Amino acid sequence: MSADKKKKSVKIICENLRRIRVISVPIFRPYRRDAAKEAPMKSDIPQLMHERGLDALVVYGNTDTSSDLAYLAAGAHLERAMVLHVRGQEPVLFASVLERENAEATGLATRLWSDYPLSRYLQETDGDLAAARIAQWRDIFADYGVQGRVGFYGLMDMGFAYRFLTDLAAALPEIEVVGENPPNLFNAARETKDAREIEIMRAVGQATTAVIANVFDFLSGHRAQGDALIQADGSPLTIGDVKAFIRMELAKRNLEEPHPTIFSQGRDAGVPHNAGRPDMPLRLGQTIIFDIFPRDRATGYFHDITRTFFLGHAPDALVEKWLDVKRVFDEVMAAIRVGEPGGKFQQMTCDLFEVMNYPTICVDPQTTVGYIHSLGHGVGLDIHEGPRLSTIGPQTILRPGHVVSVEPGLYFPDDGWGVRIEDTIAFDENGEIINLSDFPYEMVIPVRA
Amino acid sequence: MSADKKKKSVKIICENLRRIRVISVPIFRPYRRDAAKEAPMKSDIPQLMHERGLDALVVYGNTDTSSDLAYLAAGAHLERAMVLHVRGQEPVLFASVLERENAEATGLATRLWSDYPLSRYLQETDGDLAAARIAQWRDIFADYGVQGRVGFYGLMDMGFAYRFLTDLAAALPEIEVVGENPPNLFNAARETKDAREIEIMRAVGQATTAVIANVFDFLSGHRAQGDALIQADGSPLTIGDVKAFIRMELAKRNLEEPHPTIFSQGRDAGVPHNAGRPDMPLRLGQTIIFDIFPRDRATGYFHDITRTFFLGHAPDALVEKWLDVKRVFDEVMAAIRVGEPGGKFQQMTCDLFEVMNYPTICVDPQTTVGYIHSLGHGVGLDIHEGPRLSTIGPQTILRPGHVVSVEPGLYFPDDGWGVRIEDTIAFDENGEIINLSDFPYEMVIPVRA
């Protein structure tokens, strides 16, 4: 066997072993929780209702945008649906007749909106649609014995939500409309992932890093001409070309980009959410922030990972900046652990950057340069969810089952650069870190001379 | 004619010619409106505010989910943003410091949330985040002179919207919170597309039909074995395989599927929103509903088109059903026109199907078989928007600039079939139909023997 073939076959064995290892994790194992570390999750919804004094809850919306509804609908796509959960009863899913089989596939008890036909209520209300909707919900609530404190969740036009719930409260004196400030019941439940969710998220991480690996290979397969990267025909390779490649790599893996991938270069990388200008040619020796956070279409879960790299070579002055961020990243990754509030690690990040003489938002909340965002956020059915690694707002203690991004960065657009390094990590049942972003921290991608 | 008059008239001709030249470039042509047919659109927002007695409006949210915000942000991706529009002033866009350059790219006047740092308000409110948010908005509203009736729009958790707006109204006695029942100001503005939007939507239609053409070729390139379609290696071709092919075709054209494409076969096609089971092998002689409604990532606009076809051959009994739907589709397409309420064509569709002895929701709102949905819906930055071609709810008169789907269908899952045929059409400035779904109505896709 040639050395090359050997290498290849070892690689295959390793891949198979890796696959076997993943498969051997029993994916339906209920999450074993230590009372001392306990944090609420999906199965705790009745308890979370009890703590809030809720007699019922309603989650309304479209599963493709309302992630709380997607959380309950377990992967089904429903355009206009409602979960009604009365304390002590099984939740009921209301769906359109057009989506009745998607609804049934959730395993929840289902009802059809047409069981309460709007056309009938419109007759009752002389064609007043708003009044007809209230009458429809009045009958549904009556049939399911909804009374007392009712919490409402799911995305809706904010003005309509205010109007509808105000009118509903007026029409149904037996209920009290409860609207929660964040973090609400679903924020609390969703921020803890069970073992099944973590396995899903591990797989989404693997698919995402496979995309990154192919993007890196794609780039290093190109040739430099002067300080530009060029294609086979001699034309410059642009950010738009790279993004088109990324799109195909994502589509192959059934990943989607509900929010656009960031591939930003030089000064543009100096503003964290600049996504990169499609017509910009790639240049050697500049910081390129590649922040990719796709959603798995099959399960709805996101992954979030960032690498900053240089094509061809890295100028000494920027190598230092890159290493500064990497040092902070490493220190925070070594320190972060369960039992501490998320804000503690944001403060640590600020302190480390300040020692290096960079401006930070901890000292100046209005700075536009230096370290200007929070350290990280929960990742799940939303790209940004709880717990937040931020000093601002209510502090969540990190717990087993939490999945968060860790993403220190530095931004100086006027000096032509930005650096961010990010992994998404999960805390397992023992509080150990599982890094879901298994990809090396490359600084320079070599390109062909 | 005097020389002077001649000169003047030549000048007018020249000006007219210049104007004509500009007008001949369709995509930048301002939408010429006949007063008699006038319908509000984006430029009419001040007028729409006036009609509603609004002194200001607020649109809040994420452009990737809040399409009203996307409408104002003209293609920019913003995670947490707000447009504040005080009557008589230019609208102002509030954005995160991380997204300041995306915000500036909209051309709107921009402000940063960090100009009103939440950390400062948290100190004021002893760490109460909800109170701090109210205090932040109080200062923003004061600085921009917001008072009187304020309309609120954009997607938000419905319970939080109710709570936040109730608290805001209590804290700011100088404002009256206005929440609109649908159709709201943005529904009214967005349902009329200007010439630029129609040109964009025509291009999205062309890209979508190019995908369909390739899917048809892909299918007809396969070989039949018995009643199954098989791949080169002899294994059956499944719906999952077709969907994977569709995904790649969409990605190539920068189209995305925020809601999953429908490719459903046989009995599954008998429930309108069944998306098709990935593991199901394709069979000859069954109805296959292919309903594809992607969004263009570059512009945010959707297209919506459905074809129902058979692989290889069509059984006589099902040919009749297909032709029944096609006949209704043709009659409605010939009849639909501006100046009439959308519901009129839904009623016409029901009447036509009833003459053919099919059950319809017009007669029985609870039927699960026959014709069980509305005729169509507006298409734009949302896949389903106004105007609705439905007899239920407020009736919109069809106008130039409206873009609607026309999609009659029949559904009998227990008999193993469903048929739907759909195009998306626009009414031009003269009320003429522009069919944006330029694709033939194929019934049978021949396959290799």
CA-nearest residue to A409 within chain B is B98
The CA distance from B344 to B389, in Å, is 8
Confidence label for A140 from pLDDT (cuts 50, 70 and 90) = very high
Q: Of A158, A189, A220, which residue sits at a domain end?
A: A189
Shared domain check, A250 and A119: no
On whether any CB of chain A is under 8 Å from the CB of B13, the answer is no
Indicate if the pLDDT at residue B196 is higher than 60: yes
Residues whose CB is less than 8 angstroms from the CB of residue A297 and which lie 6 or more positions away in sequence, other chains included: A254, A255, A256, B257, B260
Interface membership of A228 toward B (CB under 8 Å): no
What's the rounded mean pLDDT across residues A406-426?
Answer: 98
Tokens of B398: 């069809």
Q: Quickly count: other Cβ atoms within 10 Å of residue B173's Cβ.
A: 8
Chain A contact for B342 (CB, 8 A cutoff)? no
At residue B40, the pLDDT reads: 87
Q: Which of A136, A137, A157, A261 to mutate to test the interface with B (most CBs of B within 10 A)?
A: A157
**To probe the interface with A, which of B59, B67, B83, B97 has the most A CB atoms within 10 Å?**
B97
Reported as a single tens digit per residue, the pLDDT across B68-85 is: 999 999 889 999 999 999
Same domain, A164 and A238: no
B65 touches chain A (CB under 8 A): yes
**pLDDT grade, residue B240 (50/70/90)?**
very high
Percent residues over pLDDT 90 in chain B: 89
pLDDT value of position B74 = 85
Q: Cβ of B181 and A164 within 8 Å?
A: yes
Indicate if the pLDDT at residue B6 is higher than 60: no
CB B279 within 8 A of CB B414: no
Cross-chain residue pair B256–A257, CB shorter than 8 Å: yes
Say whether residue B128 is in contact with chain A using an 8 A CB cutoff. Answer: no
Among B65, B179, B257, the residue with its CB nearest the CB of A159 is: B179
Q: Are residues B174 and B222 in the same domain?
A: no
Nearest CA in chain B to A248: B251
Is residue A82 left, alpha or beta, with left meaning phi > 0 and alpha meaning psi from -120 to 50? Answer: beta
State both tokens at B165.
């707006």
Per the prediction, chain B carries an average pLDDT of 92
Cβ distance B100 to A393 less than 8 Å, yes or no, reads no
Backbone Cα Rg of chain B: 26
**Smallest Cα distance from A219 to chain B, Å:** 19
Strand, helix or coil for residue B161:
helix
The residue out of B155, B188, B221 marking a domain boundary is B188
Q: Does residue B12 lie within any of the structural domains?
A: no
**pLDDT for residue B352:** 98
Q: List the single best residue of A164, A273, A299, A372 to mutate versus B (max B Cβ within 10 A).
A: A273
Residue B257 vs residues A249, A257, B79: alpha-carbon distances, Å:
16, 10, 20
What is the pLDDT averaged over residues B55-76? 95
List the beta bridge partners of residue B427. Answer: B433
B257 lies in the same domain as B173: no
Same domain, A314 and A236: yes
For residue B97, the distance in angstroms to the closest alpha carbon of chain A comes to 7
Q: Which two tokens stand for residue A94?
A: 């209301």
Average pLDDT over residues B421-425: 98
A364 CB near a chain B CB, below 8 Å? Answer: no
Residue A8 — very low, low, confident or very high, per pLDDT cuts 50/70/90?
very low
Contact B259 A77 (CB under 8 A): yes
Residues of A in contact with B256 (CB under 8 A): 256-257
- Using the 3D structure, point to which of B188, B221, B237 is the last residue of a domain: B188
Q: Is the peptide bond before A315 cis (omega within 30 degrees of 0)?
A: no
CB atoms within 10 A of CB A283: 18
* CA distance linking residue B368 with residue B358, whole number of Å: 12
Same domain membership, residue A388 and residue A280: yes
For the stretch B130-139, contacts whose Cβ atoms lie closer than 8 Å and that sit 24 or more positions apart, written own/partner, are B130/A181, B130/B163, B130/B164, B130/B167, B133/B164, B134/B164, B134/B167, B134/B168, B134/B171, B137/B168, B137/B172, B138/B171, B138/B172
**Is A166 in the same domain as A252?**
no
Q: Which residue in B65, B99, B130 is closest to A181 by CB distance? A: B130
Select from A98, A99, A256 the Cβ nearest to the Cβ of B256: A256
Q: Find the mean pLDDT for residues B232-258.
A: 97
- Which one is predicted more confidently, A163 or A449? A163
Q: Is B117 on the interface with A (CB under 8 A)?
A: yes
For residue B101, the chain A residues in CB contact (below 8 A) are 268, 271, 274
Contacts for A202 with CB less than 8 Å, ≥ 6 apart: A22, A426, A434, A436
Closest chain A residue to B132, measured at CA: A393
**Chain B residues inside the 8 Å CB shell of A160:** 179-182, 184
Q: Is residue B22 part of a domain?
A: no
- Could you give the number of structural domains in chain A? 3
Q: Rounded CA gap, B159 and A56, in Å?
A: 13
ipTM of the complex: 0.91
B105 touching A, CB under 8 A? no
Q: What integer pLDDT is reported at residue B394 of this predicted model?
A: 86
Which pLDDT score, from 0 to 100, does residue A214 have?
98
Q: Coil, strand or helix: which one is A245?
A: helix
What pLDDT does A393 receive? 87
Tens of pLDDT, residues B332-371: 999 999 999 999 999 999 999 999 999 999 999 999 999 9
Choosing among B273, B373, B405, which should be mutated to test the A contact, i.e. which has the most A CBs within 10 A? Answer: B273
A186-244: pLDDT as tens digits = 999 999 999 999 999 999 999 999 999 999 999 999 999 999 999 999 999 999 999 99
- Looking at the structure, tell me whether residues B184 and B207 fall in a common domain: no
Residue A9 reports pLDDT greater than 70: no
Of B152, B158, B271, the CB nearest to A101: B271
A122 — contact with chain B (CB < 8 Å)?
Answer: yes
CA distance A286 to A228: 11
Query: pLDDT tens across B149-177, in order?
Result: 999 999 999 999 999 999 999 999 999 99
CB contact under 8 A, A271 and B180: no
Nearest to A365 among B114, B129, B247 (CB): B114
Cβ contact A157–B155 (<8 Å): yes
Distance CA(A422)–CA(A92), nearest Å, equals: 40
- Average pLDDT (B375-399) is 96
Asked if A184's CB is within 8 angstroms of B160's CB, the reply is yes
Inter-chain touch B119–A159, beta carbons under 8 Å: no
Q: Is B297 in the A-facing interface, judged by CB distances under 8 Å?
A: yes
Which strands form A305-311's sheet, in the order they lie side by side? A262-265, A288-292, A305-311, A444-445
Is some CB atom of chain A closer than 8 A to the CB atom of B433?
Answer: no
Answer whether B166 touches A (CB < 8 Å).
yes
Mark whether A237 and A149 lie in a shared domain: no
The answer to whether A159 contacts chain B (CB < 8 Å) is: yes
Rounded to whole angstroms, the maximal C-alpha distance in chain A is 84
For residues A345 and A392, membership in a common domain is answered with yes
Instruction: DSSP for B180-227, please give it.
Output: PPSS-HHHHHHTS--HHHHHHHHHHHHHHHHHHHHHHHHHHTSEEETT
A369 and chain B: CB distance < 8 Å anywhere? no
pLDDT of residue B195: 94
Chain B: closest CA distance from residue A2 (Å): 31
Question: Does the beta carbon of A273 lie under 8 angstroms from any beta carbon of chain B?
Answer: yes
Cβ-defined contact of A275 to B102 (cutoff 8 Å): yes
Residue contact B177–A164, C-beta within 8 A: no
For B394, name the nearest residue in chain A, comparing CA atoms only: A129
Residue of A nearest to B392 (CA): A119
> Residue B248: its chain A contacts at CB < 8 A?
248, 251-252
Cβ contact A65–B65 (<8 Å): yes
**A25 in contact with chain B, both atoms CB, cutoff 8 A:** no
Check if B407 contacts A (Cβ < 8 Å). no
Same-domain pairing of B166 and B199: no
Residue A52 and residue A165 in one domain: yes
| Residue A181 to residue B164, Cβ atoms within 8 A | yes
Give the chain A residue whose CA is nearest to the CA of B260: A77
Identify which of A158, A184, A393 has the shortest CB distance to residue B154.
A158
Domain carrying residue B62: 42-188
Instruction: Tell me what pLDDT residue A86 has.
Output: 98
A30 touching chain B per CB within 8 A: no
> What is the SS3 assignment for B412?
strand
The 8-class DSSP code of residue B413 comes to G
Which CATH number covers residue B371?
A: 3.90.230.10
The DSSP element (H or E) to which B5 belongs, if any, is: helix B3-24
**pLDDT tens readout for residues B7-54:** 444 343 333 333 333 222 233 333 344 433 468 889 999 999 999 999
Tell whether B158 is within 8 A of chain A (Cβ).
yes
Specify the CATH number for the domain of residue A70. Answer: 3.40.350.10
- Interface size A-B, in CB pairs within 8 Å, comes to 218
C-beta of residue A220 within 8 angstroms of C-beta of residue A250 = no
At residue A26, does pLDDT exceed 80?
no
Asked if B373 lies within 8 A of A98 by C-beta distance, the reply is yes
pLDDT (0 to 100) of residue B75: 85
Contact A416, A397 (CB under 8 A): no
